[in-house]
Structure 1
């Protein structure tokens, strides 16, 4: 029989890895244990050395106490020859104390105090101790000896110190004659005497057995090593689980992949051999053999690729040709979009489209037939013979097809909203049909339709925008679009009347002041906040700082997608309207009062005439001076009443066109001379600032004198304190009026009074000092000549009178 070889055991990868890891960990643990053992041994040696030195220090402390304290005190108390061994001998006391300590200590320390000439036989040194005494005698500078040595059958760590005699020891260890009698009776006069100061008579040895440190060091090291091995076993178990999860599982999955993915005979043989070795070695061998198989397959593929390259080259040329064609289509679409951005109307866009399409398809002619609203046709190249489209071609608009008729191509132009027309492309030769992709051509038609639709929508928007802009700028009143924070978005040219600044930030400040002033009812308000809160249109009348009146209308726009509110602000200057209304109201009041005054004047004139007639008769008949004085007073007041009646009649008399003209500067100069004396008596200075070369005004000189007289008399009455001042100035205003300004520095006219100063019989003077008709008469004269009068009163009072210029000479 043939001897079959036993198969070698197969160790798994996990077994090899865990075994190697354990051996490494065990070696590491042994090294660490040795290091710990020697380290602990060194520490314990230091400890036992310190303990030995402490024993010596303790013995030395006892001896020092006996020598320095106890023995001198005993000598003082005892008679001269007395000596108490148990209380005065340092050697005896220290030996007894240390022996007592050794009995109570389990560490069994070694302690000896010996000398060359001992009094006590127990203190006789052995050979080792004699040798130490010789060492200390040879080297007097040596203070301590320390080493390990055998004491009996045990090894000890010993520390030795010399016993050196000093002056205090000479009484008991020097000359025997000086020693206490009782000491000599105990020990005799031979041993322990005849020492000199500085002699080393003995040694003190102390130490502990080495087994005191060796045993615990070994025990601790073994305990640590045991714990380490337990930890290694636990760690190996964890590593085994982790290795199984991370490596073995993936290797098994990889082996499974090999078994399922490679089913050929050659591959199957490789897979069968994977189980004959460990996982890594099997995979390495399997991958190597698979690489050989793949190399063979690659050679076969290379042979196939040589034939395939020719096919790929042909296909690549075909794809490149198609890509070139599609690139031309892409460029055409991009060019159409770029043309849209620069087009201003539909005609300009279509011209650009026809040129781009003709260049793309290398056509001889491109024509666009419009089928919406009109039947216009547009050609790329000028062509006077453009035939109309046939009905069957127009039907393309209702289908998603193109039409090719020999050398002609028809493409429907339409969008989702409308059908626009037909694009016709003509060639002199029949084109290759492979170059014409129906899908791209239909997309081209849709793109052109969308462009036409967009350009028309854009044109409509631009037309509406231009129209709205024209309307916006054509409004002469201020018109603005603002937001809720009073930021100006759009402002027309008319807004310059309220926004005088150039910078937008300064204009916004002006606008805020313009909207947040006091209204006519003297109440504080903010119309913008009210519109924002209510989101409803609001209107208000406001008065600006410069005295102008505006009617403000605010219209909030719907928010829609806007986060902020937009508001349209319309402002209309109503200053002239309010002035005209005031003048009309003044005229109506004068008219009604004049009618009433006419009746009163008629009823008063007759009695006044009778009173004056009879007063004159009585005056001629009376000679008494006092009576004549009383009659003169009656006549004076009668004439005053007649003057009032005459003024009333002038108010009620129908207005007639006043004829005549005069030079305003000359009349003013004469009037100043007339009132010079009166102004000097009241210490009032009259200053004139008259513009030269002013045209004549349309006013009779007598009427102008009466106007000046009434205004100056009011100014004289207003200036109560001395040092008053009246300024008179003239200038040309608006080329058709001359402006007369009369200003005084009196106390001014209160705001609530200004609107009533031209009313008849209204006066702020004391009773008996004014009739209230002066300014009413002036107002009537100014209206009759076609002028106007304005009053401003702040720190001073200014009457501005506008006289129309006489133009008869020009005509």
Structure 2
């Protein structure tokens, strides 16, 4: 049974609507007036800004486009109508100043070039304002212009660099401006404010238009309100009330008879709003059901996220397997001693990681040489496009086979890796970037292994050479700690220590390695090799050589010690010297016996016979002299044979300068052949010495011969210097630029048969004879090093035959 409801909602709606319309109309009228006024001001500001932007665009176009083009076409002319930004902007903007429109635009300046644009009182006031407030770029407000109120916006005009050509110095400005305007508008300074851009809009005209508009709107509003009341009443009844009833009917149809019986009773006794509230409760239940559906959807979404997470976990596991594979390959490189061993270890791991059926590696150097896993797989041979696959720079999939180029760190191709799966789909699912990175890693590993193999071979060769040296060889650091030693050094250390030491430090057997005088420290400090003879207490002698080893920064931190035992060598040398001396003695004895002894014996025999037969005392005296001198010669021969010291040829005197000059001339040919220079320095006057000429020639010639043997070819130099000395002595010095005489040899240099020449080049009697001759006449021989030439120096001190001054004086007279 249908129960009619009171229409309280519609009544409330009509009353409220009338009050709302009245209030809204009043508020709208007042608010519209003030709003339209603000809109007017905003419109004026926007219009002024638009005019300013328009002016800026015109001036920018003139400066950046029109003026450069005019200069390019007419470089010698200045056309103000196309090149002056102020002129062009004023001409274009003149259309804004339409009489009766209520809008003013002026670009005015003080001391304007065109008097028509000279600033008026309002504009001068604005210019003064901008000059006083240099930071202001805009002024806006109300001003009365020509008895009418305007809303004004103004901005300063500053002279920039582009303006100074026409407004700076008159003599630099275009002649066209001076001819047109005279001297007006010049003398402006850069950055100065001399003008304004002025835009004004009439307030009275625009406000009247606003008031007329408001009244018109209000009339239309009143008419519209009446129509609105009637329409709203009809529409509310038709649309709102009727629809609320239909909505309530919908709620009734959805209410079940059991639990919702109370709700149905309230709907029957309430109005439309009550019915609507109750309907919302019903809607809440439906929303609860929708919430349950959303929860189910969220559960489904969570399940999808779990599935995606699981997929990502699988992918992460694959990446971890890739990382582990690269780690294993690096370990394989350290364990491998050749590329073949590397591929034998790496191929099974790669094949298992990617699940391939088989894998093959082909070397670039020999494509026919390949490594296959599993080992029982038949190698089909290199592909026909082998070179293209190598140089392509990326992985290439051809059906179930993926070709991976293996390249070194420098980019050169090392080989080609072929992975074969059961089907093309299985081959396509693998990441080609990972395979390409794998190829690069394998190439670098193979390259490093080749370098290590080459280094190992070099080290093996060096070790073979090092161990092949039969003499002890040790490498020590700056603290004399053994770094490495060959077997000969180990044997010598064991031998010298009686098997008690194994440190191979052979230097400690000869020196205190902790002392600052240790030759190891001297070698490091000097940076040069140290060569010396060392001896042990038992008499064993060794040749010791220390060679500094500089590091990469030229700092010496290691030394190579080379030791060669010379004990047997010295013994053999002594035997050879003894044998040579004995051979020389034997030869000399045989020669003397044949050449001298026989004639001396015959002379002595016949002289004895004549002595017996001669009765004349004078002849007998002569024969006695012959016999005496013959016996003397025999004694001399006997002294030589017995290694006696040679006797002076005679004890006469001679001019040592003349003898030296003769010796220089005699040996000049031999010296020229060896390209050696012989110089003689002596007084021009004779220097007489207490030594015969023959003996003197023998002394000087032996010294010159030794010097010729010592000096180098082509650069050798020999100096013979003769000077008088104190104590009635005359000094004869023979010096050279040869290697000199070692200090340890100076004590033996005058020993019989001692020589520093090669075996067979000398007998060792030359200096012995010199020493004997000079000593017999009371002189002496000294050995040293020449400071001028750097080689050996032999200085002979001979007694003068007369005072040096007298000798010089006498000699001078003789040469005259």
Whether TM exceeds 0.5 here: the answer is no
TM-score range normalised by the length of the shorter chain:
0.3 to 0.5
TM-score (structure 1 length as normaliser): 0.36
TM-score (structure 2 length as normaliser): 0.36
Q: Find the structure with the greater CA-based Rg.
A: 1
